[in-house]
């Protein structure tokens, strides 16, 4: 089964690298050498996280559903990304 979800991803500079996390999925914290790499790593982590939820028959948090990913009021370092999940 394949489906897409929308998630908020925040990216912050952390010294010489970048830190990214998903506020709606506790435990999704990654880094990267660039902001784009950190965002990409976060998208991979979100996909793995949601795959695990599906495989274990756990509920998907409402904050990552497509209807909840409004673009209004996002901070400069925050974006809404569409992530493909294969479960």
Count of domains forming the chain? 1
3-class SS string, the chain: CEEEEEEEEEEEEECCEEEEECCCCCCCEEEECCHHHHHHHHHHHHHHHHHHHHHCCCCCCHHHCHHHCCCCCCCCCEEEEEEEEEC
Residue 63 confidence (pLDDT): 72
Q: Does the pLDDT value for residue 74 go beyond 60?
A: no
Domain of 42, in residue numbers: 2-86
Q: What is the pTM of this model?
A: 0.80
pLDDT tens column, 18-70: 999 999 898 999 999 999 999 999 999 999 999 999 999 999 887 776 544 44
Please report, for the domain that includes residue 24, its CATH number: 3.30.160.250
Tell me the pLDDT band of 82, cut-offs 50, 70 and 90: confident
Residue 75 confidence (pLDDT): 52
């Amino acid at each position: 089964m394949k489906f897409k979800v929308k998630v908020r991803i925040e990216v912050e500079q952390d010294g010489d690298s970048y830190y990214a996390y998903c506020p709606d999925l506790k435990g999704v914290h990654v880094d990267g050498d660039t902001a784009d790499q950190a965002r990409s790593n976060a998208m991979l982590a979100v996909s793995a996280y949601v795959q695990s939820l599906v495989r274990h028959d756990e509920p998907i948090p409402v904050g990552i559903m497509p209807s909840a990913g409004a673009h209004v009021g996002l901070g400069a370092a925050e974006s809404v990304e569409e992530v493909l999940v294969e479960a």
